[in-house]
Homo-oligomer: A and B are copies of this chain.
Amino acid sequence: MTDTPGTVAVIGAGTIGAAWAAFFALAGHPVRVADPDEGAAARLAAMLERARPVMAALGTLSGAPTQPQWCRDIAQAVPSAHFIQEALPENLALKQQAYRHIEAHARPEALLMSSSSGLLPSTLQQGLSHPERFLIAHPCNPAYLMPLVELVGGAQTAPEALDRAERFYQALGKQTIRLQREATGHLVNRLQAALWREAVHLVAEGYASVADVDRAVTQGLGARWTVCGPHTIFHLSGGAEGMAGFLQRLGPAIEAWWSDLGSPTLDATTCQRLIAQMDDAAAGRSPERMAAERDAHILRVLALGQPPAPPDV
């Protein structure tokens, strides 16, 4: 980048916010983090140390990393910011209240980006003085590891704000996706929920164990999905005609499978079964240990890079 890295204000130093703060700081941006909690500074420092070797391995660590500066309140954090990344709990009233404080102290041209995983931007931006600079920028957690950022504008978002956000994240090495219409859960969480719905059905109806359903994904489907999305998978099952050949030959079979998929509910029996079988599958490993194994493995997969992406997608 030829410009001086812009200052980023991160609002909230929970799991999502602290990971964002570490990412922006280690990528070389001045970072100010607003959180009233006295433990925030220690959390930020710990996250910075966890993120550093990850970003070094991915090649996203700046030669001139910064340290996130902890601020007790929004009024201290946002005045100097060019980019504001909100990472508060998933609560509409809480977020909108914070936006009022942010707008009272921020430059009018600062981008205001929410990390919300499910709320709609048109709802979140209601009541803003400058709704045109508001958008959703939803990371995959942790933001210092996962490349994807989903960008979603609301009814009042200016296209230029989305363009600026796209340039900002792409310059940081992120892979951005821009939704053409807002949707509850954006893309990632909708796709994840769709897969889990059938995974729950298979366990609830006794077709297979939690461990075996998960292995169907980790041992069978997961490796494909690092290089081909669900559309491309079937495009490559269609022979030389690709998707057209696939739809012609296998479309009816897929529609029959769709009609046989389950619609489970998370009732008490199903929840007990999921909890008990997940406990078996974990085999004494704590969620913390499993999360560490997960992130270590994801890093190895991401460090492989990708086959070259075609232009203009």
Contact = CB atoms under 8 A, between A and B. Distances in A.
Contact of A148 (B192, B216, B258): B216
A269 interface: no
A127 interface: no
B311 A178 contact: no
B216 A188 contact: yes
Contact of A294 (B183, B187, B236, B311): B236
A72 to B, nearest CB: 26
Contacts of A294: 224, 227-228, 232, 236, 307
Contacts of A148: 215-216, 219-220
Given A202-B187, A220-B140, A281-B232, A215 B297 contact: no
Interface string A192-205: 11111111001101
A254 B293 CA distance: 25
Interface string A268-282: 000100110111111
A46 interface: no
Nearest to A216: B187
B282 A307 contact: no
A10 to B, nearest CB: 21
A281 B310 contact: yes
